[in-house]
A and B are shown apart, each in its own frame.
Chain A
Amino acid sequence: MDPVAVTSLRWIPLLPLLGALVNGLAGKAIQRRVGEGAVAAIAVAPVAAAFAVSLAVFARLLALDPSRRVLLDVVWRWLDVGALRVDVALLADPLSTTLLLVVTGIGGLIHVYATAYMRGDDAYWRFFAYLNLFTFAMLVLVLADNLLLMFVGWEGVGFCSWALIGFWWREPVNTTAGNKAFIVNRVGDAGFVLGVFALFWALDAAGHGTVAFREIQRHAASLDGAVLWGVPVATLVTLLLFVGATGKSAQFPLHVWLPDAMQGPTPVSALIHAATMVTAGVYMIARLHFLYAMAPATLAVVAGIGAATALGAATIALVQDDIKRVLAYSTVSQLGYMFLALGVGAWTAGVFHLVTHAFFKACLFLGAGSVIHALHHEQDMRGMGDLHAKLPVTFWTFLMAALALGGTPLTAGFFSKDEILWHAWSSPYGGTLLWGVGVAGAALTACYVCRQVLLVFFGESRADPHHGEPVRESPAAMTGPLVILAAGALLVGFLGVPDGLGGANPFAAWLDAVFASEHIDAAHAAEAAHDVRLEWALMAVSVAMATGGAGVAYLIYQARALSADAVAGIAGGAPYRLLVHKYWLDEVYWATIGRGVRWLARAGAWFDARVLDGVVDGSALVMRAIARLESRFDARVVDGFVNALADATWALGGRLRRLQTGNVNAYLYVVVGAVALVLIARIF
């Protein structure tokens, strides 16, 4: 079945690119002469238009028969070298269109929010140029019909992330965070491209060398039985690509960049480091689910890393004091749930959580931004408290999103998370352990988010009394997006109510055309026959655990039945210190890899300057000594040559003349030696 050829898809990335170009090249003048409003309009309008086009694409797909829901826009032939043929081609199917709506829709809201949040910044224009450029790159990533073009978006969003984390570039702490993000991501990117190479050549060996998703899917069966270095190629390829996913989606052991990335302006954290870019790894695996389905070993790794990250990051989130860092670790943790879903073959559940998470996490970040804005750049929760009445819209929307994150029944987060937990239990690739880790993480999630709500919005105000200015609710451009996102956090879950709760699950039906052919058969069978009572029981357990987690936070931070200090002091304070120091992972990386590379670099430079050049300069000295024995005539001729160097300084020239003397001799020796060598070789 051929895709429907269209030419409309190219406008979706192109519009934000145009916005980026206008603001990037002329934005400074526009901001100065016309004002911030014009810059904002130039930035928001293309994203809004891209959202409109995306909606039209969505409508177009809906109108098609489910089996024919693929639009393809081939723009130009990018590469044609040997068997490698790569088009700049965009593909819209239910999966990419889902992401398309998230990126342009939620992304558009964040653009609107940022127009108010960034007001007064000298480089307002630069911020929006980057934000538009990011949107462009993310849309290329999502729409790409092949791995290489996806990689353009993949590194493109990485570049924008670097530029936006270090947006306030005068502070080295910001640019260092940006560099860390880019470099850690590059580790993943190296894995990604190697995975592409391995895949291309494995397919090429079967006569189908390609990097286009639809072609890969068509010929994936030819990878069966292919082995490289004793590893099935499908496993090798998917593992290498997963390395890329751990970088971009901040999974253990490459998650360390994301918390530091909070140095960027808060809308950036919401857009890039919560709702869109960091989900790219999840999207990539969903896109290539048919390959992952062929590699059970990889799936086990994906599920294991996902579960470990989900739990580990949630533990760190418990003890963070920076309002954004709590959310950053929460994001790492929630991405872990998505990978857990993918790892047990529950593709739809993973993507569903991606969507619900985009709503409630964007809402939380923007809410945090609203708090920070109102408190004049205070980010430490120990300097907040009692804001629920002063910032009513921010409070209520934050609360809605927090409920969703905590997994409160009937919110979006509840449906998507419980679907993941159910699959973690019931899938043939799942098991009690994965489920148990997931449920434990859910309890911790409820605990840290409850703690955050209580610390920020309740209790006594700990704001700096010297800050004379009153705390005011943010303007409508900021609260508007908050309200919409909070509504989403409450409601989008109803798109995917699981069968067990009697839902029609239109979300799964929508994605079925993409995933249907590759449902892991046994899992499908298990789902078809699954025990509804068991599902309810598991749900009850996770809700109970979450309630318990939230209850602990309530006891400590609201009821004061438990002292926070006492809890931190458990077991001599060792567990607390472990969490506060993020398991000392940054320190370990720095002490091993960081120092190791620096040592190697210094060793290389030393070897170059001392050993190699030592040999070179030393042989010049030897030649010079030999030259002294030569006739004066020889030396004079060469001296004349050197003197012709008009500006040779006298002191250096003296030394160099002698070097020159060696030159002619060296020439002769090499000639004679080389001729002799060739002659010797010919004789034998």
Chain B
Amino acid sequence: MDHVLTWMTFLPLLGAAVVLCLPSRRPGLIKRVALLSTLPTFALGVRLFAAFDRATTAYQYVDRTPWIASYAIDYFVGVDGVSITMVLLTALLCPLCVLASFGIDKGVKGYFALFLMLETGMLGVFVALDFFLFYVFWEVMLLPMYFLIGVWGGPRREYAAIKFFLYTFAGSVLMLVAMLVLYFGAAPHTFAIPELAGRGAVFDPRTQQLLWLALFVAFAIKIPAFPFHTWLPDAHVEAPTAISVILAGVLLKMGTYGLLRINYGILPAATLDLAFWSLAALGTFNIVYGALCALAQTDLKKLVAYSSISHMGYVMLGMAAFTPQGINGAVLQMFNHGTITALLFLLVGVIYDRAHHREIAGFGGLAGVMPVYTGVAALAFFAAMGLPGLSAFISEVLVLLGAWQRHPGLTIVAASAIVLTAGYLLWTLQRVWLGRLDERYAALPDVDARELATLLPLAAIVLALGVYPHAVLDLIGASLGHLNELVRAGAAAGVAPR
């Protein structure tokens, strides 16, 4: 499995090139080729999942060659437990999203080429071990996303696309500055993340904290953390279904992934100093605020978007606990949120394709005409509610349990939000799927085989991880244990007491 990560990352780009060469008048062919281009990456991901050494904390499947030697910039990729989990999530969601995009009929060639470029960008972010390479992939991913929302989106697509772009870009700039400062601070100068580990210590505590905050804002925009989140509801509402899935399923994870990889890894002392307000308290606020906003939404997709904000708050709270349960729960929650929210957006897409609107009040009684659809929706909604036996229960319990030791007060607030979550989800379930059927929708067809093929794999994972969470926990345990110790030791070594 030489260069397996490189193959996984760039095969979709190759697919994009092939797609561009296909004739535009054969959209069916383009769609099939696009789907085929995502499958080798997925297959390699499955092999990686089987072969990954779960006991070591070292980076695996490392690929390193000098790239821009004069600045010590390498093409340097590799995975640890955290990144492989995100790589698997990406490799899983992309084929499903391509399948979910088969209904696209405008600019088919451009859409699928951009989508495949996006996949390369996302995978690149997760496998990059050179900060510069990470930054390049981060930007690479931004452009296709901008066009996918701005061209194939809903009525306010340009506004949403530009808002998304500006927000992320502002973050990138901060990241760029912090990256350069870290580069010049390291002796010898390097962008290699493993070599930068703990190197933040060369700076005085104040600078470390400033760097930490610059990086934090860059990543918080992606999570998205209050108050940097307002791009998300707009982007979700306007984006086509599959792009919403990618946005919620993968892109949001880059925020918390970046925090773990960069902030935690390179600036452990500042992490410990700043985690309470920036992560624990803000995360708890995200949980409650997102849930309250979701309760007030009238658009189904916007409701899911705000629920996303709420659920990502658990990731922030968990990672700020510095307990094994908290940090493992946080990363497991990243994966679970990826699958559950993907499922929710796919479900919204199904009904939008049929009814051409998403007003919650405009539906009712869909269970009568679309029973299979209703069954999957109920599963997804209860999964989002954290019902025991389903995947999110494990991650939320781990997060809250882990958080209690360090932040019992915040944990009480966060745990009471499960009441709000049940509130908005059950109320939505009732208004859209139960009750009397609107005559306009008496003839809606139930989900077809293609739609079911996008939904069922995710539903199966949601069920399986609730029963056997160690499928993911075993992957991440060693790396996170190491990272957690690094942060605690970074502070203990007395690098940064004021």
Point out residues on A near B: beta carbons under 8 Å.
28, 76-84, 148, 151-152, 154-156, 159, 162, 166, 169-172, 175-176, 178-179, 182-183, 186-187, 189-190, 193-194, 196-198, 200-201, 204, 228, 597-598, 600-605, 608, 612-613, 616, 620, 645-649, 652-653, 656, 659-660, 663, 666-667, 670-671, 674-675, 677-678, 681-682, 684
| Distance from B366 Cβ to chain A, minimum over Cβ atoms (Å) | 11
Q: Which 10 pairs from chain A and chain B are nearest by CB? A: A82-B324, A605-B296, A601-B295, A152-B388, A197-B404, A601-B296, A604-B292, A169-B434, A674-B177, A179-B426
Q: Is B100 an interface residue (CB 8 A)?
A: no
18 contacts between A and B (CB under 8 A): A80-B473, A82-B328, A152-B389, A156-B387, A169-B434, A179-B427, A186-B419, A189-B418, A601-B295, A605-B297, A608-B293, A620-B166, A670-B174, A674-B173, A674-B177, A674-B214, A678-B181, A681-B210
Given contacts A169-B435, A193-B400, A604-B296, contact A646 B107 (CB under 8 A): yes
**Cross-chain contact B295 with A597 (CB below 8 angstroms):** yes
A148 to B382, CA, bound (A): 18
Inter-chain contacts of B147 with A (CB < 8 A): 645
- CA distance in complex: A653, B293 (Å): 30
Pick the most buried of A156, A179, A187: most chain B CB atoms within 10 A of its CB.
Answer: A179
Find out whether the CB atom of B408 lies under 8 angstroms from the CB atom of A198.
Answer: yes
Q: Given the complex of chains A and B, what is the CA–CA distance between A175 and B297 in angstroms?
A: 20
Contact A194 to B426, CB < 8 A, known contacts A201-B404, A201-B405: no
- A191's nearest neighbour on chain B, judged by CB, is B415
> Would you call A186 and B418 a contact (CB within 8 A)?
yes
- The segment from B50-58, B156-164, B186-194 found at the interface with A is B156-164
B154 at interface by CB-CB < 8 Å: no
Verify B325–A155 contact, CB threshold 8 A.
Answer: no
Beyond the given A77-B470, A169-B435, A597-B295, could you list 10 further A-B residue pairs with CB under 8 A, ordered by the A residue number? A79-B398, A81-B473, A83-B324, A162-B426, A172-B434, A186-B422, A200-B401, A678-B181, A678-B207, A678-B211
B389 CB contacts on chain A under 8 angstroms: 152, 156
Assess whether B151 is interfacial by the CB under 8 Å rule: yes
Residues of A within 8 A of B355 (CB): none
- A670 to B169, alpha carbons, bound, how many Å? 10
Do residues B434 and A194 form an inter-chain contact, with CB atoms below 8 A? no
| Bound Cα distance A659, B150 (Å) | 14
Contact, CB under 8 Å: B289 / A604: yes
Nearest to A598 among chain B residues (CB) is: B295
Given contacts A612-B230, A613-B230, A646-B151, contact A190 B435 (CB under 8 A): no
What residues of A have a CB within 8 angstroms of the CB of B265 in the complex? none
Instruction: Give the residues in chain A near B418, CB-CB below 8 Å.
Output: 186, 189-190
Residue of B nearest to A205 (CB): B405
Taking a contact as CB atoms under 8 Å apart, the answer to whether B473 and A166 are in contact is: no
- B388's contact among A156, A182, A600, A605, by CB below 8 Å, is which? A156
Residues on A with C-beta less than 8 A from B427 are 179
Partner of A187, one of B165, B173, B207, B419: B419
Question: B27 in the interface, Cβ–Cβ < 8 Å?
Answer: no
Classify the secondary structure of A's interface with B: helix
In-complex Cβ contact of B415 among A152, A179, A193 (8 A): A193
* Structural contact, A645 and B158, CB atoms closer than 8 A: yes
Count A/B pairs, Cβ under 8 Å.
187
In the docked arrangement, what's the CA distance between A612 and B107, Å? 34
Q: Closest CB-CB distance, A602 to chain B, in whole Å?
A: 5
Chain A residues with Cβ under 8 A from B230's Cβ? 608, 612-613, 616
- B180 CB to nearest chain A CB (Å): 9
CA distance A193 to B386 in the complex (A): 12
When distances are taken between beta carbons in the complex, the residues of chain A under 8 Å from B415 are 190, 193-194
Q: Are the C-beta atoms of A678 and B177 separated by less than 8 Å? A: yes
Please tell me if the beta carbons of B325 and A175 are within 8 angstroms of each other in the complex. no
List B contacts of A671 (CB < 8 A): 173, 176-177
B110, B178, B227, B426: which contacts A612 (Cβ < 8 A)? B227
Q: Which chain B positions have C-beta within 8 A of A601? A: 292-293, 295-296
CB-CB under 8 A from B430, the residues of chain A are 166, 172, 175-176, 179
B423 located at the interface, meaning its Cβ lies under 8 Å from any Cβ of chain A in the complex: yes
B32 smallest CB distance to A (angstroms): 24
By a CB distance below 8 angstroms, the chain B residues around A154 are 388
B210 touches A678 (CB 8 A): yes
Q: If the complex has contacts A79-B394, A604-B292, are A616 and B163 also in contact, measured as CB distance less than 8 A?
A: yes
Residue B477 at the chain A interface, CB threshold 8 Å? yes
Cα A597 to Cα B411 in complex, Å, equals: 20
A670 touches B159 (CB 8 A): no
How far is it, in angstroms, between the C-alpha of A612 and the C-alpha of B469 when the chains are bound? 38
Q: Shortest beta-carbon distance, B465 to chain A, in Å?
A: 11
- What's the least CB distance linking A245 to chain B, in Å? 17
> From residue A555, how far is it (CB to closest CB) to chain B in Å?
45
- Per the bound structure, the CA–CA distance linking A176 and B295 in Å amounts to 16
Which B residues from 415 to 469 make CB contacts under 8 A with A?
415-416, 418-420, 422-423, 426-427, 430, 434-437, 468-469
A197 x B423 contact (CB < 8 A): no
A605 to B434, CA, bound (A): 25
Contact B181 A183 (CB under 8 A): no
Given contacts A156-B388, A197-B401, A646-B151, A663 and B166 within 8 Å (CB-CB)? yes
Instruction: Report the separation of the CA atoms of residues A660 and B158 in the bound assembly, to the nearest whole angstrom.
Output: 11
Within the complex, the shortest CB–CB distance from B275 to chain A, in Å, comes to 18
B158 touches A653 (CB 8 A): yes
List B contacts of A677 (CB < 8 A): 210
- A210 smallest CB distance to B (angstroms): 12
Chain A residues near B169 (CB, 8 Å)?
A: 663, 667
Q: Are B173 and A645 in contact (CB under 8 A)?
A: no
A648 touches B158 (CB 8 A): yes
The answer to whether residues A169 and B367 also contact, given A183-B422, A194-B412, A681-B210 and a CB cut-off of 8 A, is yes
Knowing A194-B412, A201-B405, A602-B296 touch, does A155 contact B211 (C-beta < 8 A)?
A: no
- Cα separation A490 to B213 with both chains bound (whole Å): 72
Among A77, A170, A602, A677, the one with the most B-chain Cβ atoms within 10 Å of its Cβ is A170
| Alpha-carbon distance between A183 and B295 when the two chains are bound, in angstroms | 14
With contacts A155-B388, A183-B423, A190-B416 known, is A684 near B292, CB below 8 A?
no
Q: Which residues of chain A are within 8 angstroms of B295 by Cβ–Cβ distance? A: 597-598, 601
Q: Which residues of A contact B422 (CB under 8 A)?
A: 182-183, 186
B170 within 8 A of A: yes
B162 with A656: CB separation less than 8 A = yes
Chain A, Cβ-Cβ closest to B406: A201
Q: How far is the CA of A656 from the CA of B164 in the complex (A)?
A: 13
| Given contact pairs A172-B435, A678-B210, A597 touches B420 in the complex (Cβ within 8 A) | yes
Interface residue ranges of B385-399 to A (CB < 8 Å): 387-389, 393-394, 397-398
Contacting residues, chain A, for B121 (C-beta < 8 A): none
Check: B40 CB closer than 8 A to any chain A CB: no
A79 touches B469 (CB 8 A): yes
List the A residue with the shortest CB-CB distance to B150. A645
Interface flag for B255 (CB, 8 Å): no
Cross-interface CB contact of A684 among B206, B293, B468, cutoff 8 Å: B206
* Residue B365 is within 8 A (CB to CB) of chain A in the complex: yes
The complex places the Cα of A203 from the Cα of B141 at a distance, in Å, of 47
Pick from B323, B324, B402, B426: contact of A183, CB under 8 Å? B426
- Known A187-B419, A682-B207; judge A193-B365 contact (CB<8 A): no
Q: Which single member of B227, B329, B423 contacts A597 (CB below 8 Å)? A: B423
Q: How far is the CB of A503 from chain B (nearest CB, A)?
A: 41
B121 CB, nearest partner CB in chain A, Å: 19
CA gap between A154 and B393 in the complex, in Å: 13
Query: A670 CB to closest chain B CB, in angstroms?
Result: 5
CB distance from A534 to the nearest CB of B (A): 45
Q: In the complex, what distance in Å separates the CA atom of A189 from the CA atom of B415?
A: 9
Q: Name the distance in Å between B198's Cβ and chain A's nearest Cβ.
A: 20
**CB proximity of B135 to chain A, nearest CB, Å:** 14
Nearest CB on B from A595, distance (A): 13
Chain A residues whose C-beta falls within 8 Å of the C-beta of B412 in the assembled complex: 194
| B401 neighbours in A (Cβ, 8 Å) | 84, 196-197, 200
Contact with A681, one of B163, B207, B289 (Cβ below 8 angstroms)? B207
In contact, A84 and B325 (Cβ under 8 angstroms) = yes
